Amino acid sequence: MTLTSERVSGPQTRQVSQRVSQSVFDGSRLRVVLLVDVYDGAQQQFLEAYEHLCSQVTSVPGHVSDQLCQSIENPSQWLITSEWESAPPFLTWVNSEEHVRMVAPLHSCVRDTRSLRFHIVRETDGPAMDVEPRRGRLQAAPRIGDGVIRHALTFTVRQGSEETVAKILAAYASPEPRVDDTTRLCRTSLFMHGNRVVRAIEVRGDLLAALRHVSKQPEVRAVEEAINPHLEQRRELDDGESARAFFTRAALPAVHHVTAGRETPDAVRNALYYPAREGCGLRLAELLARQDEMAADDPRSPVLRSTIFQRDDVVMRLIDVQDGPGADPALVLGFGDRGQAAEVTALLDAKALGVDASTLTEATPARLLTLARMELVTDRRAETEV
């Protein structure tokens, strides 16, 4: 049957705000694509490792199906596709230590990988679609982005080394922003909250190419070597497995981005740290995302753009604020009312913010903003992006 004679499924979920250009929280089904380059002669080893991994993945909540494909042109090239009921269960699994352990056997037979993640917007009905009922919904409408990919890395340093690490990070020379003809580094923002470091980057083009480009720059390598002795989690940059494990655990993906559609030349970049109680990170990120979506249509809100990053129980909100320090603390935090504030506060880890539970419960928005605000280490933009 040809595509034109088959029925294409229409929207099956609520209309998404056009101000939200990126989100994992709309309930849409997720398609994950993993491109794999296998070492010559290691195809059978790779297949066996995949089959072992697949037998474990089938029991992960939210997982629907997997498919493994081998190139008809190059036997070293493989494609793994998986479908999930929605993005949150996939992110919970892929960011877990369980996942790190599951995929470890693949590393010895794989030269390179690239992971791509897509919400399903439309699909064509055919005879095969009637075999098993659909699970999950379709994304209602395409999102309108700005061509910028947002990503972050986070790690902790040893207690007492914070000032030294901040000086090292602030002093590094910016790498060449041009990666290739299609990829460019736009902005790098570094923040600290206690001994936690967050490096947020904005890229036009290919994120993976940009990350690899940055890692090879001598000025960046020098900074990474300089902070190595201060890290809580050891790593050896010359050891591929050690570096891979470190940066896998350090990845802090963007899960939501919204813009209010208002521009001002004096916007101030801030970062707020929302450490969640154990197991509550994704729920906390979702609450903040919903509040940011509503605030984008509120002319009182000083927040021009907000990006929420989340991994496990680490949640960080990167915001560009119109009025800087003089803005209403509740609106900067993303709280539209007391109920929203209480709901978010109940999910926060008071100890990680350096206070006891009662102090956190009774905190005013101004106090909470002080507790959550991250210290800006450096914020650099490529000249053409200014």
Inside any domain, residue 169: yes
For residue 344, count other CB atoms closer than 10 A to its CB. Answer: 21
User: Which of 123, 140, 170 is the C-terminal boundary of a domain?
Assistant: 123
- CATH number, domain with residue 368: 3.30.70.100
3-state helix, strand, coil in the chain (%, to 5): 35, 30, 35
pLDDT tens-digit series, residues 34-75:
999 999 999 999 999 999 888 888 889 999 999 999 999 999
Kindly state whether residues 285 and 343 are assigned to the same domain.
yes
349/310 same-domain check = yes
Where helices occur in the chain by DSSP H, the ranges are 43-57, 87-94, 97-103, 162-170, 207-216, 218-227, 240-250, 281-295, 329-333, 338-345, 357-362, 365-372
From residue 343, give the alpha-carbon distance in Å to each of 284, 285, 332. Answer: 9, 12, 16
Query: Does pTM top 0.85 for this prediction?
Result: yes
Helix (H, G, I), strand (E, B) or coil at 69: strand
- If asked whether residues 225 and 261 sit together in one domain, one would say yes
Question: Are 107 and 251 members of one domain?
Answer: no
| Domain co-membership, 176 together with 217 | yes
Boundaries of domain holding 224:
148-385
Are residue 189 and residue 294 in the same domain, yes or no?
Answer: yes
Q: Are residues 103 and 168 in the same domain?
A: no
pLDDT at 271: 97
Q: What mean pLDDT is predicted for residues 271-296?
A: 94
The DSSP bridge partners found for residue 188 are: 201, 380
Query: Is the same domain home to 158 and 106?
Result: no
Give tens-digit pLDDT for 227-266: 999 999 888 777 777 777 788 889 999 999 999 887 777 7
